[in-house]
């Protein structure tokens, strides 16, 4: 028995609540369909007096909009999609969406492409300069990106009303369905800004009825819904910006050695793009965040120092550019890897299969640190703690080096001029606020280091004002993201991203 619920929106216009809202517009015994869903609604058309579908228009490429079109290669109707969506709907001989390598290299180009090619699509829905006629109606397109760079809204005059089928550009309650789709990369607000621009375009036209791809039709004050959504998208965009506004960078200027390495004190060096080397009085070396691309720079530094041999490695977080040098150092020098349990977790848990910058070959620890506590390496005693921020699987460790308290900080917090003061936040990286950025910033205030030895050469002086501002920013950013969630629940709507990726 067909279970797809049907609702009449206007005379000769129906909504089928499928994997997405499918809208069917009738003219005589013919139909135009906006988005397709699973196709489970098709048997109900005969009961509406529809004998044939003539046109199917896709607002964007996501699988829930079009997966039913995979059921056969050639349909008895014309399929239209926004220009540019061929990259996702017809990727060619090899589907570029994986899962590898897209889901392991930061935010992918799409979290929900169809699993296979959809054939015979016309990519002629070009916003601003294209339209076509269907049974005397002019069908128009407006570029409303966000859930994808090419997404369009569709405008049709029907029953005396201007009806806007907005795809996932908007949802009732001035929210966005699965707002993580707005995160086109892991640290900027480019997707949020594009979505805002699209909503502003809709705000500038007459809208009598707003028909989204998920949730109820908005028939009461749709312009108020769009205006409030515009404001919320702008707050989300601002949240993606500076996390410690007005703070100076406070760079620590190193001595540049002939080999290119930077010396911050008698026993602390930074080499390549990411790594640090701590040298003990006995000549042993502790390598922090070993990245394979930095190993030649480390070898040059070791040659310059003469006699220093790496015996241990530690890692701030699981991203491959902070740990994929472990096998090299283990094989060449017999160095042992000491990992925080949170950092080691992504390679041990099947649920974490899809994570950005996850090295596909598991990294095994020679030793595990305590989750919180102390660790001694030669004459150095380290404080250790979880330190979620840019990603959940992050830790912090601090020790005294040449009279200065040095906190090895990975990628969560950077000088203000680098990446808005953080390594970025996004749902796919499991960046958290109340149990991530806020307690991690508070930990720095409690530990009060002298030096923040962060990743990617970002070594700077600690200042409490920066981290107080970060706590204020994180609370504001949390609220901005939550305001976009249809349920008001970050877990259900925003952090849902890996569930979507795993089950795509």
Q: What is the pLDDT of residue 130?
A: 78
DSSP 241-287: S-SSTT----BPPPEEPTTS-EEEETTEEEETTTEEEEE-TTSEEEE
Identify the bridge partners of residue 162 per DSSP, sorted by sequence position.
157
**Lowest pLDDT segment from 246-260, 321-335, 365-379, 419-433:** 419-433
With bands split at pLDDT 50, 70 and 90, how would you rate the model's confidence at 98?
A: low
With bands split at pLDDT 50, 70 and 90, how would you rate the model's confidence at 1?
A: very low
Is the pLDDT assigned to residue 57 strictly greater than 60? yes
Task: Give the span between the Cα atoms of 37 and 64, in whole angstroms.
Answer: 5
Strands 395-401 and 404-410: antiparallel
Q: Which residue in the block uniquely carries the two structure tokens 């921020």?
A: 389
CA 332, 367, 339, 259 torsion-angle sign: negative
Residue 276's Cβ-count burial label (10 Å; 0-12, 13-18, 19+) is buried
Lookup: tokens for 311? 């015996």
Backbone phi, psi, residue 430, to 5°: 55, 45
Measuring CA to CA, which residue among 485, 449, 487 is closest to residue 467? Answer: 449
State the angle between helix axes of 222-239 and 464-484 in degrees (0 to 180), rounded to the nearest 10. Answer: 150
282-326 per-position pLDDT tens digit:
999 999 999 999 999 999 999 999 999 999 999 999 999 999 999
Is the pLDDT assigned to residue 234 strictly greater than 90? yes
Averaged pLDDT for residues 403-422: 93
Backbone phi, psi, residue 313, to 5°: -135, 145
Q: Give the count of beta carbons closer than 10 Å to the beta carbon of residue 488.
A: 12
With bands split at pLDDT 50, 70 and 90, how would you rate the model's confidence at 360?
A: confident
Q: Give the count of beta carbons closer than 10 Å to the beta carbon of residue 64.
A: 23
Q: What is the pLDDT of residue 244?
A: 94
Q: What is the pLDDT of residue 104?
A: 79
171-185 per-position pLDDT tens digit:
999 999 999 999 999
Which among 110-119, 316-325, 411-420 has the top mean pLDDT?
A: 316-325
Lookup: tokens for 385? 């703690």
Averaged pLDDT for residues 188-217: 97
pLDDT mean across residues, the chain:
94
Reported as type and span, the H/E element at residue 176 is none
Task: Give the span between the Cα atoms of 164 and 206, in whole angstroms.
Answer: 9
With bands split at pLDDT 50, 70 and 90, how would you rate the model's confidence at 100?
A: low
366-408 per-position pLDDT tens digit:
999 999 999 999 999 999 999 999 999 999 999 999 999 999 9
Q: What is the pLDDT of residue 94?
A: 47
Averaged pLDDT for residues 174-198: 96
Q: Which residue in the block uniquely carries the two structure tokens 């994986």?
A: 98
Domains of the chain: 5-239 (3.60.15.10), 255-462 (3.60.15.10)
With bands split at pLDDT 50, 70 and 90, how would you rate the model's confidence at 90?
A: confident
119-146 per-position pLDDT tens digit:
899 999 986 667 889 999 999 999 999 9
Q: What is the pLDDT of residue 93?
A: 46
Q: What is the pLDDT of residue 95?
A: 53
CA 190 to chain centre: 11
- Is 218 within 8 Å of 210 (Cβ atoms)? yes
CA 25 to chain centre: 35
275-285 per-position pLDDT tens digit:
999 999 999 99
Lookup: tokens for 202? 């809709």
Three-point CA angle 270, 276, 281, nearest 5°: 100
Q: Which residue in the block uniquely carries the two structure tokens 């990975």?
A: 410
- Is 19 within 8 Å of 33 (Cβ atoms)? no
Task: Give the span between the Cα atoms of 220 and 217, in whole angstroms.
Answer: 9
């Amino acid at each position: 028995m067909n279970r797809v619920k049907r609702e009449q929106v206007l005379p000769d216009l129906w909504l089928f609540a499928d994997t997405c809202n499918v809208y069917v517009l009738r003219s005589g015994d013919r139909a135009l369909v906006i988005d397709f869903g699973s196709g489970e609604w098709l048997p109900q058309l005969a009961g509406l007096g529809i004998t044939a579908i003539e046109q199917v228009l896709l607002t964007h490429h996501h699988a829930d909009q079009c997966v039913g079109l995979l059921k056969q290669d050639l349909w008895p109707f014309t399929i239209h999609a926004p220009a540019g969506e061929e990259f996702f709907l017809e990727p060619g001989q090899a589907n570029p969406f994986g899962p590898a390598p897209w889901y392991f290299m930061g935010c992918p180009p799409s979290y929900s492409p169809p699993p296979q090619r959809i054939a015979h699509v016309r990519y002629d829905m070009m916003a601003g300069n294209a339209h076509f006629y269907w049974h005397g109606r002019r069908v128009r397109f407006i570029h409303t990106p966000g859930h994808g760079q090419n997404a369009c809204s569709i405008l049709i005059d029907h029953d005396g009303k201007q009806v806007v089928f907005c795809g996932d550009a908007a949802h009732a309650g001035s929210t966005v369905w699965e707002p993580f789709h707005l995160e086109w990369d892991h640290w900027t607000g480019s997707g949020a800004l594009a979505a805002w621009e699209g909503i502003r375009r809709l705000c500038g036209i007459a809208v009598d009825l707003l028909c989204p791809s998920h949730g109820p039709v908005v028939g009461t004050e749709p312009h108020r819904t769009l205006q409030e959504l515009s404001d919320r998208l702008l707050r989300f965009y601002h949240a993606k910006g500076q996390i410690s506004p007005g703070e100076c960078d406070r760079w620590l200027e190193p001595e540049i050695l002939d080999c290119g390495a930077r010396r911050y004190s008698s026993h602390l060096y930074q080499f390549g793009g990411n790594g640090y080397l701590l040298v003990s009085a006995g000549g042993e070396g502790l390598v922090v965040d070993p990245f394979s691309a930095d190993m030649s720079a480390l070898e040059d530094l070791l040659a310059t120092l003469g006699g220093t041999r790496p015996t241990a490695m530690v890692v701030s977080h699981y991203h491959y550019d902070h740990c994929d040098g472990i096998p090299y150092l283990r094989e060449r020098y017999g160095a042992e890897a000491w990992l925080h349990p949170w950092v080691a977790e992504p390679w041990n848990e099947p649920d974490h299969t899809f994570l950005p910058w996850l090295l596909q070959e598991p990294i095994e620890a020679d030793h595990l640190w305590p989750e919180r506590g102390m660790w001694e390496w030669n004459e150095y005693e380290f404080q250790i703690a979880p330190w979620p921020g840019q990603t959940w699987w992050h830790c912090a460790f601090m020790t005294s080096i040449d009279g200065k308290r040095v906190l090895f900080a990975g990628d969560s917090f950077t000088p203000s001029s680098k990446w808005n003061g953080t390594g970025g936040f996004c749902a796919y990286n499991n960046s958290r606020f109340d149990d991530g950025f806020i307690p991690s910033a508070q930990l720095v205030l409690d530990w009060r280091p002298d030096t923040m030895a962060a990743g990617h050469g970002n070594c700077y002086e600690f200042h409490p004002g920066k981290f107080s501002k970060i706590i204020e920013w994180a609370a504001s950013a949390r609220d901005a993201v939550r305001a976009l969630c249809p349920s008001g629940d970050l877990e259900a709507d925003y952090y849902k991203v890996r569930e979507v990726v795993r089950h795509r």
